[in-house]
Structure formats: structure tokens, C-alpha cells
Amino acid sequence: MNKDKSILAGNVYKALVVLAVPIMLNNLLQTVYNLTDTFWLGRLGAEHMAAITLVSPLQSFITSFGGGLTAGGTVILSHDFGAGHKDKCRHTANQIFILMMAFSVLAAAILFFGCSPILRGMGAEGNVFTYAAQYQRIMAADIPLIYMTSLYNIVHNAAGKTGKPLALNLIGIIVNMVLDPLFIVVFGWGASGAALATVLAKLPCAVIAMSLLTCKKADIRIMPFKVKPDIKTIGSIAKVGFPMAIGNSAMQFGFVLMSKSVMAYGTTAVAAYGIGNKINGLVSTPSSAMSNAVSIMSGQSKGANMRERGISAMRAGIIMMVALLAVTGFVISRVPVATALAEFFSSDKTVIPDTVNFLGVMAAMAWTNGVYDSAKGYLNGQGRTVSTVTINALRIWAFRFAILFICQHLIGMGVESIWYAVTYSNAVASVVMGVYAVIAIRIDGRKQTA
């Protein structure tokens, strides 16, 4: 089994950069899918933007549950790679495949048939409801395609081969960039066109991914027609992944309720919230990639009984990301820059002021993501997924809604309450995650010396 030896030896900063850069570029490509939709739908007005902003948390709520289960498999897979157990890697990967495909069919059905009552419950009405429902029903077909491509990413990321998924996703983004303006603007299909373009762009990626994974020459081969469920392995995956699945879904449901809170301020506020979140996601992409890189190094280090290597990875990740995001945040917080970004994604003049305000608040605290993500990556790699999910859930359900309540009802800040709740709940969660990581390191150190 070929394994990247630099993960367990050599300069930790170099190893992290080698792992994180392909993941970051891959995540950027995924972000571009959404940004492309945002750009072209922004040409059509606030109602189209509000529609996809409402729908995005709904889809994420469903898919995050499956994502938690597969993340549990990824942790186990990285431990097996670190220990050099090729047969166990292959077996685990096939069990992840069973879970992913079964869940994807269920998730697609829920999103297709359940979107209307859920959108009504979120307060959507009129054109916003119509556009959102059309978008979501088509995007339901995207769920199995997402998981097929994700499996390819999981197998290669756990092995430290983070560059391979990049080329695959590049194909999808190119197709999407061509189809989006064609379907949205030229054909006039609006939100439905954006959804159809995304599904058609993901299709070749999914087909290629499964072709490579089922190829006889693949190091970790998936055998979809021969694999049988193994209760013991699935139980191990569930033990690590189920808490993440529950926590991720709870967190995403919090995002759904947050979108409902934004809806109370009108379509313009929802559109600004959607644009701001998209840009925030773009800014935090390096930090999210670093979290995955730290998790890979932490997981393989645990499997190889090299505890200090994982700790060093977390420290290096925090240092690099805090510095990068502090600079990036400062630049974006400048009014001319924030205005240019807002105008790029929306031609509606009523949306731009709220978007600029949101970006200014968000950018000032962007650096805290560097602490949060690297600490989370280390803890996930060590298998402490219950703890990271708990803190993640607290970020939304405790910190975010508490700050929202204070800003709305005690201070009377209006729509700005949303911006401050989003930003400062992330900052508080970063402190909690960092402190817990230090505590976990000390606890593990005592166990090792006992």
C-alpha cells in the first residue's frame, strides 16, 4: 500500500501545506458551484437569491447526517492507513460505500417530497417559495452524486493523497460554469436552471469517481455488487460517526431556524445573508482545508502511535491559519473591498448596504476560525468526535441564539443582530474548542504515562 511518508516524518509545516493546498483548492471548487449560482441568480433579483439562501440549510441538514457517518469511517480509515493495514482499509471503505448509498437514496426522497411543508414552516411564500421548491426538488437528484464523489475524496484524503480529487472536481466546475448562464439567463429557467446545471455538472464527476474506485488496479477497490454489510465494522463506524451525524444535523437545523429568523427582516436581508455567508465560506476555505489536513495527520499519527506528531500538526495549523485569516479579514473589512464584493454578487442596490455591513462584522473575527478548525481537526483525528460535535452544536444552539436574543431584544440592533450572532458565536466556539483540545492533550498524556 502506497502511503505518504511525509505525514509521519519531516517538517510538519511542509507536510500540512502539501496536504491542505489540494484540499483547499478542491473546497474552493465546491464553493464555486454555489458562488456561480449566486452570481447568475443575483442578476435576476433578491427573490431568486432569497430562495436558494432558504433552501441551502435544508439540503445541508439532510446531507450532514450522512456526512457525519462517513466522517466516522474516514477517521477509522486514517487509523488503518497509519498502521499500514491495507486489507482493513479496503474493507472499511466498502462498508462506508454501503452506508453512503443507502442514506443517499433516503435523503433524496426526503428532500424531494418534504421540501414544500418545510419551506412553508420557514415562512417562505409567493415567488420565494415557488423558486425554492423548484430548486430543491431538482437538487434532490444531486444527493447520490455527491456521495459517490465524496467516497473517492474520503479514500484518497485518508491515505494522504489529497491532490487526486482535485482534477475530478475541476471537471464539474467547468461544466457548471458553462451551464449556469445558459440555463439561468439564456433559457430563463432561474433557480430551476441553477439546480439542473449543478446536477448535470456533478454527474460526470460521480461516474468517473466510481469507475476509478471499482477499477481492478485501484489500491482501495470498491466492489458494489459483492460487498456485504459487516455489522462489526459498521458498528465501529457508527460509534465514531453517529455522534457527528446527530450533531451535524442538529447544527444544520439551527441554520434552518437562523434562516427563518433572517426571513423576519424581509427578502433583502435574506439575500444579503446568503451573499455574506457565501463570501464567508470562501474566506474560511483555507482554514477548513487545514482542519482536514490536521485531521489526516492526527489520525495517522494515532494509528502509528506517534502522539506528538499530531499535536505538532495542530499547533502549526493554528499558527498558519490565524495569521492568514487575520490579513484576509482586514482586507475584506475595508468598505471599498466589501462594496465591490457585494456588487459583484448582486445588482439589487437595496441588498448591497446590508451585505457590506455583514462582511465588515464577519471579517473582523475571521481569524478565530483558524483556532477552531485546527483544534477540531486534531480532536477528530484522535477519534474525539463526540466532543467536537457537542461544541459545534453549542456554537449554534447556545452561543448563536443567545447572542441573537441579546442583540435583538435587549440591545435592539435590528437586522445587525444576525450579523453579530453569526460572527461572535463562531469566536466563542473557537475559544471553547481550543481550550478543550489542550485539556484532551493533557488527559491523553497522563493516560500514556500511567
Q: Identify the pLDDT of residue 161.
A: 63
Q: Identify the pLDDT of residue 165.
A: 67
Summarised one tens digit per residue, pLDDT across range 365-380 is: 999 999 999 999 999 8
Q: Which carries the bigger pLDDT value, residue 37 or residue 334? A: 334
Summarised one tens digit per residue, pLDDT across range 6-50 is: 677 788 999 899 888 887 887 777 777 667 777 787 777 778 877
User: Out of 94-103, 251-260, 276-285, 428-437, which region has the weakest mean confidence (pLDDT)?
Assistant: 251-260
Answering whether pTM is above 0.75, one says no
Summarised one tens digit per residue, pLDDT across range 390-416 is: 898 888 888 999 999 999 889 988 889
Tell me the torsion sign for CA atoms 405, 50, 34, 200.
Answer: positive
| The residue type at 207 | V
Q: Identify the pLDDT of residue 369.
A: 94
Q: Which carries the bigger pLDDT value, residue 95 or residue 257? A: 95
* 4 has a pLDDT exceeding 70: no
Q: Identify the pLDDT of residue 162.
A: 56
Summarised one tens digit per residue, pLDDT across range 232-270 is: 877 777 777 777 777 667 766 777 677 778 878 888 888
Cell of 428: 466563542
Q: Identify the pLDDT of residue 16.
A: 92
In angstroms, the CA 199 to CA 384 distance is: 34
Instruction: Assess contact for 370 and 325: CB atoms under 8 A.
Output: yes
In angstroms, the CA 436 to CA 65 distance is: 24
Residues near 161 by Cβ (< 8 Å), separated by ≥ 6? 4
Q: What is the mean predicted confidence (pLDDT) over 110-116?
A: 85
Q: Identify the pLDDT of residue 128.
A: 86
Burial of 331 (0-12, 13-18, 19+ CB in 10 A): exposed
* 326 has a pLDDT exceeding 80: yes
Taking CA atoms, 409 is separated from 144, 214, 256, 402, 403, in Å, by 42, 56, 21, 11, 10
In angstroms, the CA 205 to CA 172 distance is: 6
In angstroms, the CA 336 to CA 114 distance is: 42
Which of 369, 370, 373 minimizes the C-alpha distance to 291? Answer: 373
Cell of 253: 437545523
317 — pLDDT class (breaks 50, 70, 90): very high
Instruction: Assess contact for 313 and 301: CB atoms under 8 A.
Output: yes
Taking CA atoms, 41 is separated from 199, 248, 346, in Å, by 16, 28, 8
Q: Identify the pLDDT of residue 1.
A: 46
Q: Which carries the bigger pLDDT value, residue 336 or residue 86? A: 336
Residues near 54 by Cβ (< 8 Å), separated by ≥ 6? 119, 122, 124, 128, 132, 259, 263, 270
3-state secondary structure of 58: helix
Q: Compute the 3-state secondary structure of the chain and give helix, strand, coil in percent, each to the nearest 5.
A: 85, 0, 15
Q: What is the mean predicted confidence (pLDDT) over 435-439?
A: 95
Q: What is the mean predicted confidence (pLDDT) over 298-304?
A: 85
Enclosing H/E stretch for 415: none
3-state secondary structure of 163: coil
End-to-end CA separation in angstroms for the chain: 34
Instruction: Assess contact for 158 and 81: CB atoms under 8 A.
Output: yes
User: Out of 4-8, 173-177, 379-383, 417-421, which region has the weakest mean confidence (pLDDT)?
Assistant: 4-8
As a whole number of Å, the CA-based R_g of the chain is 21
* 300 has a pLDDT exceeding 70: yes
Listed ranges 80-84, 283-287, 323-327; the one with the highest mean pLDDT: 323-327
| The residue type at 369 | N
Q: Where are the alpha helices (DSSP H) in 84-189?
A: 86-121, 126-139, 142-158, 164-181
Instruction: Assess contact for 284 and 340: CB atoms under 8 A.
Output: no
Q: Which residue has the cell 491532490?
A: 163
* 277 has a pLDDT exceeding 70: yes
Q: What is the mean predicted confidence (pLDDT) over 265-289?
A: 85
440 — pLDDT class (breaks 50, 70, 90): very high
**What's the whole-number average pLDDT of the chain?**
83
Q: Which carries the bigger pLDDT value, residue 35 or residue 147? A: 147
In angstroms, the CA 293 to CA 286 distance is: 10
In angstroms, the CA 364 to CA 332 distance is: 9
Summarised one tens digit per residue, pLDDT across range 151-193 is: 887 777 666 665 566 777 788 888 988 999 999 888 988 888 9
Cell of 277: 455567508
Cell of 261: 429568523
In angstroms, the CA 173 to CA 31 distance is: 9
* 75 has a pLDDT exceeding 80: no
